[in-house]
Structure 1
Amino acid sequence: MEAKMKKNRDKEIVYKNYKDALIVKGNNLIMSRYNLSLAEQRLILQVVSMISKDDEDFKNYTIRVADYLDLINSNSPNTYQKIKEFAETLLKKPLHIPQDDGGFFVCNWFAGLKYEPKKGVLVCSFHPNLKPYLLQLKKNFTSYKLKNILSLSSKYSIRLYEILKRYEGMGVAFFDLNEFRELLSIPESYFYKNIKQRILKPLQREFKNYTDISFDFEEIKSNKRIVAIKFTIKSNLKTFNNKKQEDIDNQGSLDVKVLELFDLLPNKKRTMTAQKIFSYYLKSYDVNYIRKQIEYVNKQNPNNYFAYLKRAIEEDYADYKKVEIEIMRQQKIFEKLLFNLEKERKHSIEVALDKEKSSIFKEYMGLLNDEDKKELLDGYLQKAKDLYPDVDEKSFEMEFKIEQLIIEDIISKNEIYQIRLSKAKERAQKQADIEYEQSRISLYNKLKSGLL
């Protein structure tokens, strides 16, 4: 009886402790495109948390089905049928992973999912093509505690948390509105006001209450249209009464960050001293800040490497704080260029319409004989003189004004010309929108690359 109770206690400890497990994912996997439910994301992340940093290959990972039954969207009262539907649906949902060369890679999350009803577990096997994004990660990865996402209540919550966590070190992140829709798989039926009220604002509250980061967001506009979102990401670490418990909770994440920094050191400097220095400074400084200081020190090649590195971290030799100033400068340039793009878009539509009106005028005048043409021009000359008394009647300006008056009248009285002008406007707007979008995406990519 005592052995049975001990076994149950051990199970309970394992169940509680998995919340403190660490999620480590490659940044390209973080920024991939997929559309998963809340239950599907939680399952995948729990399985990811079971990967050890020393694993060289995937294993079969066992998950308790009872943890997911309430989340699975199924009308079936039968557990077997619920799990079957859940597994089949998940295996039909691929992910599109961006590649460094600008391409993408498509695969499934799992090679297979096996339900064992007697044990009440689901055995999960990751797709082998995901190895570069989940195993033996040394750089370009993001890590966080599983417990940060367990209280999040929607599929958008987890996606946005991971994406902002990826940019936490920079403190800011910019997303084109269309890109943001793709990353979170937001329906096309959502206008920006829906995104703001149903996603961004509720998630602000959730993050503040349940995760280790919080965020503010700012709308970037072009001619009153919202075209991008700027996120400001802040630490939201809570103060624990028991400092020892806090150290235990942070240790897993700390170890990964120490290893990440350790790999940046010259081979001869990879010592226990380095690990102790990183463990100490990571309690006060962001990992990306320390990374920049290491890169700076490596270029200087000082005689006393670690003494110089300590001073660099404490005094910001790498001028890391200038990064945010540079980001703000580039954002202002971006907004100004967007404003100019919008002006160009409107101007190109106006030019196309003027060209079509001129064509209509020439066509109409060509249908008149000389006598009718002279009578028409004389009549509109008098009308123009009355409207514009300061304009010389023999000037090109007066000639232009007469032409405009005639065009307005003949179009207003001729339905065929009205339809023709309407179609010309539609074509011009479509072409202008295409050119505007191409230029805007180019500007946005330059902003993200810091090239403005």
Structure 2
Amino acid sequence: MSDKKLKNEVVKTHRLNTALQKLSLAEIRLMQLAIIDARETGAGIDTLTPLPIHASRYAEAFGVTRQTAYEVLIEAETSLFKRYFTFLDERDGKPVKSHWVSQAKYLDDEAIIEIMLTPAVVKEITRIDAIEAKTLFTRFALEQVAPMKSVYSVRLYELLNQWKQAKKVSFDLNTFRGQLGVEDTEYKAMSDFKKRVLDLAVNEINEKSDLKVSYEQVKKGVAIAGFKFKV
């Protein structure tokens, strides 16, 4: 593996990885770049230092045009600032809500977005201990998800990557929907959820990444209560 591949590695705690969140494909890509760049450069590794992400960096990482990258950064200045995620507090197990960024500024003359990560995000991407790293952190090469066109594919890959050593995992349906970023009002019919979210994501993961996955339904009576995956 080349140095570039080794460097372009997304690393975050399992808690952040399994958080309930709602990000667009462009936003989740920006957060992946933010995690990589913060850890590699040290910029933005705290809550006070702006982390710059250039449009050319986004374009190169995800194979899009510079114009598309410019538009993503401009939109993210407003949209990413509004996004939040929900995770469980390690002290008492209670749900906590946090924004991804505390500040966002687009520098149009330089085609750069500067963001400041929130304390919760900084904690979940920097707290690495050599002994704990293999068991407490999810890590994968950005190249594995960069070609994916669906945000559900990216999120499912992140979730399943956490369990690739165990080779299997089960998800409760309601929690699973929240982890993928599916709104309560979206794809309420199971047939729609499977067609437009789950099967789409599984097929794209199998086609474009290093994981090979399959799933089966977990039923409670006649109702589908969740899904069991083989990784």
2:32 is the counterpart of 1:45: yes
Q: Is the 8 A contact 1:26 1:142 kept in 2?
A: yes
Asked if the contact 2:17–2:158 (Cα under 8 Å) also holds between the matched residues in 1, the reply is yes
Q: Deviations over 1:209-255 (max 9, x none)?
A: 2212121001012222211100111xxxxxxxxxxxxxxxxxxxxxx
1:31 maps to amino acid: T
Q: Is the 8 Å Cα contact of residues 34 and 183 (structure 1) preserved in structure 2?
A: yes
Partner residue in 2 for 1:134: 125
RMSD, aligned α-carbons: 2.6
> Partner of 2:96 in structure 1?
105
Q: Does 1:169 align with 2:165?
A: yes
TM-superposed CA distance for 1:83, in Å, is 4.5
Larger radius of gyration: 1
Higher helix share: 1
What displacement does 1:42 show?
0.3
Match of 2:84 among 62, 84, 94: 94
**Gapped regions of structure 1 (runs ≥ 5):** 1-15, 73-78, 234-452
CA contact (8 A) 1:148 1:210 kept: yes
Q: Give the one of 215, 218, 224 matched to 2:216.
A: 218
**2:110 matched to 1:119?**
yes
In the aligned structure 1, how far is the partner of 2:113 from the partner of 2:4?
Answer: 19
* TM-score normalised according to structure 1 size: 0.43
Q: For 1:3-51, what per-residue CA distance to the aligned partner results, in whole angstroms no more than 9, with x for missing partners?
A: xxxxxxxxxxxxx947951111011100111111000000110111113
Q: What amino acid is aligned across from residue 172 of structure 2 in structure 1?
A: D
Secondary structure at the counterpart of residue 137 of structure 1: coil
2:229 corresponds to = 231
Distance 2:186 2:84 in 1: 22
Matches within 5 A, 1:310-321: none
Give the AA of the match of 1:64. Answer: H
Match of 2:13 among 26, 41, 49: 26
Pair 1:83–1:131, CA change in 2 (3 A): closer
1:53 Cα offset (Å): 6.7
Q: Structure 1 residue 160 and structure 2 residue 156: aligned?
A: yes
Describe the SS at the equivalent of 1:214: coil
Secondary structure of the structure 2 residue equivalent to 1:36: coil
* 2:55 corresponds to 1:65: yes
Structure ranking higher in strand proportion? 2
Matching residue of 2:199:
201
Any conservation in 1 of the 2:55–2:69 contact (CA below 8 Å)?
Answer: no
Mapped to 2, the partners of 1:95 and 1:25 lie a distance apart of 14
Instruction: Verify the 8 A CA contact 1:113 1:125 in the aligned structure 2.
Output: yes
Q: Tell me the alpha carbon deviations over residues 396-428 of structure 1, each in whole angstroms, 9 at most, x when there is no partner.
A: xxxxxxxxxxxxxxxxxxxxxxxxxxxxxxxxx
SS in 1 for 2:212: strand
- Report the TM-score when normalising by structure 2: 0.81
* Higher RCO, Cα 8 Å, sep 6+: 2
Cα contact 2:153–2:202 (8 A) shared by 1: no
The CA distance in 2 between the partners of 1:24 and 1:158, in whole Å, is 14
